Structure 1
Amino acid sequence: MAHITILGSLNYDLVTTAERVPLGGETVPASGFATHNGGKGANQALASQRLSGADVTVRMVGRVGQDEFGKILKGGLEREGVDVSFVETVPGESGVAVIIVEQSTGENRILVNAGANGTFSAADVSLDMFRTPTGLTDVLVLQNELPLAAVFRAIEIAHENGIKIVYNPSPMYSAEVAAAGVLSKVDYLVVNETELGSVLADAPALDAEDVFGSAIAIAQQAFAEFQFDGAQTIVVTLGSHGAFYVDAATADVRANVVPSFKPPRVVDTTGAGDSFLGAFVGAVATGVSTQDALRRGAAAGAIAVSRAGAAEGVPFLDEALALVEGA
């Protein structure tokens, strides 16, 4: 039995769809409104649960407020089979995300109020959060929607205790991440094209004529700068262009490229990256190769963008595997 622990945010999403995003001072008619359970941490916990096999258990570590949103967020994960015994209810409000989805493109704009998520401190993070009935968790997954001091402390503790770390530094705070010196302790650094450019202080922009080539060059430079050893990997997702990884074992990085899967339609890109990560983490936890883990992630992301909602759009393992096998 493999164990995955996600330390991260839980947000209640308020989603408005419109034909286009309003300009400053402008009012635009909305075409729809919906509420969803969200937060990068909770989305990745849900995705890991749905996109892992029966031999994987998933735990969520986080905080919600003493409001109705908190009950909904915690209950939603619990119904999916996620262990929520370390989701603490604290005074105040839960995290809330206000999202505008541009109907014509599926692109989104997001404002987040941290609420209970913002109450985490480094002192609140302990090894007990990562203990399971059979020992320590196999994989710890982190993002940047909790206070960075807590995230960095969790990386330190996990690294000291031999726990495999998957870090998705989103939203990216490049200066703080670099200053903390934690990247060399991460086993899998998972970034999109925007976050990749922020990892290095003077990274060039991606070349539209050669997206993969320019992204690979930046990733290789980052890999060398942080002196990652052979156990550590940078995973780069490039949306419709696919994904690739850089490690010390592969001379030709282009051999590590995984093409994207074409979605039947693009409805909502919210949560697509979290679906990718959930599938990737579930595969890594069970010993699947990095290349095949990327394929599962790319398939999960493609399915997710064809559905509305960050949590509701997360596919299941059999759906992702069917897309991979049918390619």
Structure 2
Amino acid sequence: MPHVTILGSLNYDLVTFTSKVPLGGETILSDSFATHCGGKGANQALAVRRLSSPDTVEVRMVGRVGKDAFGVELKDGLENAGVDVSLVEEIEGKSGVAVIIVERSGENRILVSAGANGTFVPDDITSNLFMTDKGKLTDYLVLQNELPLPVIYRAIELGHAKGVNIVYNPSPMDSSVLTSGIIKKISYLIVNETELSQLIGVEISNEDIQDHERLIKKIRTLYDKFLFSRTVIVTLGGKGVIAFTNKGESFYIQAFEAEKVVDTTGAGDSFLGAFVGAVADGKNVKVAIERGAAAGAIAVSREGAADSIPFLEETRELLKK
């Protein structure tokens, strides 16, 4: 059975919904407030679990929480969802926290306090991370940028050396340290248009996004050697998805229309979870992207990050329409 390991952050989300974002020094009343289990790592672990069959794909989370009430809730939430949390450590100190302001348009602003997530150092990344409880190598390692970057790059180097498929979503982006040498060790690089622009150092305009053939040609012509030794997937929100595969293919997948855009917070993680779940289950890149696009469209119609992540059957129903 394919095995997916997610190394990343676990944050407790404090979410405020508002029709107006306050200016400096201004105090306003919000529309509502909610709390959720989150963190990009935990959200992606939950997404892979929800958007793949437990009969065909195993999912494990690797991370750290503090010995506080938030940590208990974060760990229990994943375990109750069917994620293996045997490598989620409880350490002295506070769990990671994210303060999220969501406008009624669906746009969000996020401030993250790393807490326990920030205690990782490169020497913490050992071969044990890549071994399952059955003594075999994990098949896929999913990474983001909410742990210290030297830790992430150590995981990429070691995972690649062992032959593990690396899925990397470099968010929040720091393009200054993401070299072509690192990218070439990644099996699937997943970025949005803003992250792509930062990565390649060229602005992606609205005209480029509207004309996906133009965007494909622009990126491939300028950065073929740098980016496309591996599969690169560019999510464009409601404008669809562009992909470049390690076989030299490039194609565009149209976005599914969301019933209503309520909150975009969990859309990217839902896309990634559905994509990884499908690839781990033996689906090709195009089919996996279609599943991801369907999951993202459902997620933006709901509030919250983890709470908005759909289930596999929901995406299958949308794909049938």
Task: Please say whether Structure 1 and Structure 2 have the same fold, judged by a TM-score greater than 0.5.
Answer: yes
Which residue of the partner structure matches residue 203 of structure 2?
Answer: 204
What is the distance in 2 between the residues matched to 1:211 and 1:162?
37
Amino acid at match of 1:298: A
Q: Structure 2 length normalisation: TM-score?
A: 0.95
User: Is 1:164 equivalent to 2:159 in the alignment?
Assistant: no
Superposed CA offset, 1:170-198 (max 9, x none): 0000001128x311100100000000001
Cα separation, partners in 2 of 1:149 and 1:221, compared to 1, 3 Å? farther
What is the distance in 2 between the residues matched to 1:162 and 1:222?
29
Query: Is residue 193–residue 204 contact of structure 2 (8 Å, CA) maintained in 1?
Result: no
The secondary structure found in structure 1 opposite 2:287 is helix
Q: Structure 1 length normalisation: TM-score?
A: 0.94
Which residue of the partner structure matches residue 235 of structure 1?
Answer: 233
Superposed CA offset, 1:19-69 (max 9, x none): 121112211210100000000000000000000112101000000011110
Q: CA deviation at 1:233?
A: 0.4
Superposed CA offset, 1:274-311 (max 9, x none): 00000000011111010000000000000001111101
Which residue of the partner structure matches residue 115 of structure 2?
Answer: 115
The secondary structure found in structure 2 opposite 1:177 is coil
Q: CA deviation at 1:226?
A: 2.1
Structure 2: segments with no counterpart, 5+ residues? none
User: Is 1:268 equivalent to 2:268 in the alignment?
Assistant: no
Superposed CA offset, 1:89-148 (max 9, x none): 111100000000001x11100000000000011000111112111511110000000000
What is the distance in 1 between the residues matched to 2:18 and 2:206?
31
Q: CA deviation at 1:219?
A: 3.7
Amino acid at match of 1:71: V
Query: Is residue 97–residue 115 contact of structure 2 (8 Å, CA) maintained in 1?
Result: yes
Which residue of the partner structure matches residue 26 of structure 1?
Answer: 26
Structure 2 matches for 1:279-298, cutoff 5 A? 279-298=274-293
User: Is 1:320 equivalent to 2:315 in the alignment?
Assistant: yes
Query: Is residue 145–residue 173 contact of structure 2 (8 Å, CA) maintained in 1?
Result: yes
Query: Is residue 183–residue 227 contact of structure 2 (8 Å, CA) maintained in 1?
Result: no
Query: Is residue 197–residue 218 contact of structure 1 (8 Å, CA) maintained in 2?
Result: no
Amino acid at match of 2:291: R
Which residue of the partner structure matches residue 69 of structure 1?
Answer: 70
Query: Is residue 196–residue 218 contact of structure 1 (8 Å, CA) maintained in 2?
Result: no
Q: CA deviation at 1:206?
A: 2.0
The secondary structure found in structure 1 opposite 2:253 is coil
What is the distance in 2 between the residues matched to 1:111 and 1:300?
25
Mean CA deviation greater in 25-34 or 167-176: 25-34
Q: CA deviation at 1:222?
A: 6.7
Query: Is residue 43–residue 305 contact of structure 2 (8 Å, CA) maintained in 1?
Result: yes
Query: Is residue 18–residue 30 contact of structure 2 (8 Å, CA) maintained in 1?
Result: yes
Query: Is residue 271–residue 313 contact of structure 1 (8 Å, CA) maintained in 2?
Result: yes
User: Is 1:55 equivalent to 2:56 in the alignment?
Assistant: yes
Cα separation, partners in 2 of 1:213 and 1:36, compared to 1, 3 Å? same
Q: CA deviation at 1:225?
A: 3.2
Query: Is residue 206–residue 215 contact of structure 1 (8 Å, CA) maintained in 2?
Result: no
Amino acid at match of 1:323: L
Which residue of the partner structure matches residue 37 of structure 2?
Answer: 37
What is the distance in 2 between the residues matched to 1:215 and 1:66?
47
Q: CA RMSD in A?
A: 1.5
What is the distance in 2 between the residues matched to 1:90 and 1:217?
48
Which residue of the partner structure matches residue 174 of structure 2?
Answer: 173
Amino acid at match of 2:113: N
Superposed CA offset, 1:69-92 (max 9, x none): 000000000000100000001111
Query: Percent sequence identity over matched residues?
Result: 56
What is the distance in 2 between the residues matched to 1:94 and 1:106?
27
Number of aligned residues? 318
Mean CA deviation greater in 301-310 or 214-223: 214-223
Counterpart selection for 2:244 from 243, 246, 250: 246
What is the distance in 2 between the residues matched to 1:41 and 1:271?
12
Query: Is residue 200–residue 223 contact of structure 2 (8 Å, CA) maintained in 1?
Result: no
Superposed CA offset, 1:198-226 (max 9, x none): 1113x133243635245424542575232
Mean CA deviation greater in 207-216 or 296-305: 207-216
What is the distance in 2 between the residues matched to 1:71 and 1:279?
26
The secondary structure found in structure 2 opposite 1:30 is coil
